[in-house]
């Protein structure tokens, strides 16, 4: 087995005047071994390096090493260095060692020592990285991402060395990437903004977190969609906001609504409502903007997968219709490229640009430069546009396969309406079966189907499932549809 750990110089306690140098060094190294800072098998720095570092003679270091070898703490192999002994002297067993596996910390008295945020924040679900099968939602076709091209760009950017030589960048991100995003959003989403208003963030989740820190006080009312995106709810709840869930119908969030009275912020997914997939109508958009303007409230527009529109005319972003600077528009590369990139953007109203930049700088300075430069090059060289067009075609074919197969095999039981956009769709149970029971039986057959009620706070008025298609090859969609038809048969006869 190769020796563990690099030859780092351990930190030693200060030397007390009058102590022989070799004794002080031996005691310091012994302490580092007993505390586990120098692990069994770790290589020690050379005597020359230690002598230089601590300003001692080499003979002094050799004497300290000899003492520790004699005690069994160190072992030396001539020519290959000095190591912490793997077979430990008796004393060692009495010393506390770091546990091999993290054990839960014992409960401390007074959970009140945690902040309100710490007490309320909850994990977002993560899924095991398994090959996609029917009907995984919320995931793009990761196997079709041009990974080789991405690696070539990484190589080019790294060879340029600029991401290493530049100490830091604007907290909002590097200029070429922000310019490219401003241009893209203006042309394809009808967003009206200057490059100054664009901030690169670690995905929409980060944009939500940053926005909430700056605009929502504990106790403030935040309106969310019902059903809606749990990830947004978690951010607002952790911040101590009171959530008012506003129902969604086939035109989007039902606004205006008396339930929105006194709210400070409304969170919406107008381009492709999560999870129902409906497009917010123009009258509703105008009503929401009017509500925000009259009440001095903010709107957070989550544009998470709007790049994928297969039919119907895209309605420009709410942000583009806003004349009062009330809308914060957030988009993500998680669905267009890949989610582990953790890269997205927030278009900040002009009046807030400075506050957002300051908050980002204090929190974690800025997003990593390497990925920002890679992405800027990916967009500038036209790869982004090409990838988008290619994936749009593939997803359109997959969505059409799902609709055609569903019509043939689920008719009268599970209704999938024509899919206009996105990576997934809502399917409505029409035969009286409960979505949770169907989802459970589907899981036994290796299918992923999430009840829409999982995204809902109140009792749903309709039973439905959330079904993904984008990540799934057509043959697997066909298999999944037939399997789910059997699940529906079982439910109808059982």
Ligand X SMILES: Cc1ncc(COP(=O)(O)O)c(C=O)c1O
**Binding-site ranges for ligand X (CB under 6 A):** 138, 203-205, 229, 231, 269, 274, 302, 304, 332, 334, 339, 344
Nearer to ligand X, 60 or 456 (CB): 456
Residue with nearest beta carbon to ligand X: 203
**308, 392 contact by CB (below 8 A):** yes
What is the closest distance, in whole angstroms, from the C-beta atom of residue 424 to ligand X in the complex?
9
Angle between helices 175-189 and 369-380 (to 10 degrees): 50
Nearer to ligand X, 304 or 378 (CB): 304
Angle between helices 203-215 and 230-238 (to 10 degrees): 30
As given in the structure block, the two tokens for residue 2 are: 């190769």
| Rounded distance between C-alpha atoms, residue 66 and residue 176, angstroms | 59
**433, 413 contact by CB (below 8 A):** yes
What is the closest distance, in whole angstroms, from the C-beta atom of residue 302 to ligand X in the complex?
5
What is the closest distance, in whole angstroms, from the C-beta atom of residue 334 to ligand X in the complex?
3
What is the closest distance, in whole angstroms, from the C-beta atom of residue 168 to ligand X in the complex?
23
Nearer to ligand X, 211 or 332 (CB): 332
| Rounded distance between C-alpha atoms, residue 104 and residue 453, angstroms | 33
What is the closest distance, in whole angstroms, from the C-beta atom of residue 164 to ligand X in the complex?
27
What is the closest distance, in whole angstroms, from the C-beta atom of residue 344 to ligand X in the complex?
4
| Rounded distance between C-alpha atoms, residue 300 and residue 344, angstroms | 14
| Rounded distance between C-alpha atoms, residue 206 and residue 334, angstroms | 12
What is the closest distance, in whole angstroms, from the C-beta atom of residue 335 to ligand X in the complex?
7
Nearer to ligand X, 64 or 318 (CB): 318
Nearer to ligand X, 468 or 473 (CB): 468
What is the closest distance, in whole angstroms, from the C-beta atom of residue 419 to ligand X in the complex?
16
Nearer to ligand X, 61 or 201 (CB): 201
Whole-angstrom CA distances from 240 to 211, 235, 236, 263 are 14, 9, 7, 14
> 344-347 and 414-416 as β-strands: parallel, antiparallel, unpaired?
unpaired
At residue 47, what are phi and psi to the nearest 5 degrees?
-60, -35
Nearer to ligand X, 47 or 424 (CB): 424
Q: DSSP readout, 433-493?
A: --HHHHHHHHHHTT---EEGGGG-SSPPSS-EEEEE-TTS-HHHHHHHHHHHHHHHHHHHH
Q: What does DSSP assign to residue 17?
A: T
Bridge partners (DSSP) listed for residue 83: 43, 75
Nearer to ligand X, 231 or 431 (CB): 231
Phi-psi region of 47 (alpha: psi -120 to 50; beta: other; left: phi over 0): alpha
Q: DSSP readout, 46-59?
A: PHHHHHHHHT--HH
Nearer to ligand X, 227 or 320 (CB): 227
What is the closest distance, in whole angstroms, from the C-beta atom of residue 420 to ligand X in the complex?
16
């Amino acid at each position: 087995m190769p020796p563990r750990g690099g030859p780092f110089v351990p930190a030693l306690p200060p030397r007390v005047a009058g102590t022989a140098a070799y004794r002080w060094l031996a005691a310091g190294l012994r302490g580092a071994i007993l505390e586990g800072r120098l692990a069994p098998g770790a290589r020690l720095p050379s005597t020359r390096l230690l002598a230089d570092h601590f300003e001692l003679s080499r003979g002094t270091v050799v004497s300290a090493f000899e003492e520790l070898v004699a005690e069994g703490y160190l072992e030396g192999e001539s020519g290959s260095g000095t190591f912490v002994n793997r077979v430990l002297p008796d004393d060692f067993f009495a010393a506390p060692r770091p546990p091999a596996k993290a054990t839960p910390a014992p409960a401390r008295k007074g959970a009140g020592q945690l902040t309100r945020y710490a007490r309320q924040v909850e994990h977002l679900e993560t899924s095991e990285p398994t090959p996609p099968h029917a009907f995984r939602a919320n995931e793009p076709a990761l196997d079709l991402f041009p990974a080789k091209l991405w690696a070539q760009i990484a190589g080019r950017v790294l060879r340029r060395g600029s991401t290493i030589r530049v100490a830091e960048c604007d907290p909002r991100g590097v200029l070429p990437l922000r310019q490219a995003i401003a241009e893209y959003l203006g042309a394809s989403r009808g967003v009206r903004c200057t490059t100054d208003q664009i901030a690169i963030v670690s995905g929409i989740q980060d944009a939500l977190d940053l926005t909430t820190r700056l605009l929502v006080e504990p106790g403030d009312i935040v309106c969310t969609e019902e059903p809606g995106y749990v990830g947004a709810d978690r951010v607002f709840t952790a911040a101590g906001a009171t959530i008012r869930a506003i129902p969604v119908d086939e035109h989007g969030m039902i606004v205006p609504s008396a339930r929105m009275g006194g709210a400070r912020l409304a969170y919406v997914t107008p381009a492709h409502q999560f999870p129902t997939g409906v497009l917010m109508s123009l009258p509703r958009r105008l009503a929401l903007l009017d509500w925000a303007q009259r009440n001095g409230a903010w709107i957070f527009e989550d544009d998470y997968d709007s790049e994928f529109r297969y039919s119907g005319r895209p309605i420009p972003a709410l942000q583009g219709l806003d004349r009062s600077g009330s809308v914060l528009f957030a988009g993500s590369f998680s669905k267009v490229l890949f989610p582990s990139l953790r890269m997205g953007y927030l278009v900040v109203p002009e009046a807030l640009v400075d506050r957002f930049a300051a908050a980002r700088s204090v929190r974690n300075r800025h997003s990593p430069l390497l990925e920002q430069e890679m992405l800027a090059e990916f967009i500038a060289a036209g790869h982004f546009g090409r990838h988008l067009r290619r994936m749009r075609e593939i997803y359109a074919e997959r969505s059409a396969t799902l609709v055609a197969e569903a019509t043939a095999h689920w008719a009268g039981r599970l209704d999938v309406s024509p899919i206009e956009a996105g990576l997934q769709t809502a399917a409505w149970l029409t035969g009286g079966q409960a979505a949770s029971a169907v989802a459970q039986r589907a899981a036994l057959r290796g299918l992923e189907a999430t009840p829409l009620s999982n995204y809902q706070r109140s009792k749903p008025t309709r039973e439905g499932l959330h079904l993904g298609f984008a990540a799934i090859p057509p043959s697997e969609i066909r298999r999944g549809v037939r399997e789910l038809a059997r699940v529906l048969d079982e439910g109808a006869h059982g």
